[in-house]
Structure 1
Amino acid sequence: MDNNPKKMFTPVKTYQPFHSIYDPCRPIGVKYYSTPPQLYMGFQPPNLQQFSPKEALKKGTLWPAFWDYYENPYKDKKRDEE
């Protein structure tokens, strides 16, 4: 995994598990994982913008800064395999 700080921030990270030449199974390929926005915020600043109560219930958080949309990275891959 490349930890170059000059790259743009992305909430979805990737890595490729090690595969030995003696491993009887085929390689897994690239794996994806999501990192939530609160990992990159040292503390919660005062006076953050807030969602309306109805929108906050839909999103699961009151603050837009902590909301992270999840998009399944494997979705397109499954479509290609069918």
Structure 2
Amino acid sequence: MFTPIKTYHPYVSPFDPCKPIKVKTFSTPPNLYMGFQPPNLPQFSPMEALRAGTLWKAFYDPYFSPYEKAKEGHS
């Protein structure tokens, strides 16, 4: 199953003086899950393609800042 956001649990040392980060996340691009580009993929309109950065909807990967949730919490 394709999930753009992956998580993992790094090692947390008992001697680390800093507060541990128990779960880390990273993003994977959609093209990792497609071997060859199949014919007749759905396309964006030209103006939407310029905004999205790709012509094909299957390759669209929006960027979300890791700080967006932190900003929402302070509101």
Cα 1:19–1:59 change in 2 (3 A) is same
Which blocks of at least 5 consecutive residues in structure 2 are unaligned? Answer: none
Distance in 2, Cα, partners of 1:10 & 1:79: 24
Aligned Cα root-mean-square deviation (Å):
2.1
TM-score (norm 2): 0.78
TM-score (norm 1): 0.73
Is the CA contact (8 Å cut-off) linking 2:42 and 2:56 kept in structure 1? yes
The AA in structure 2 aligned to 1:32 is T
Which blocks of at least 5 consecutive residues in structure 1 are unaligned? Answer: 1-7
- What is the aligned length? 75
User: Percent same amino acid at aligned positions?
Assistant: 64
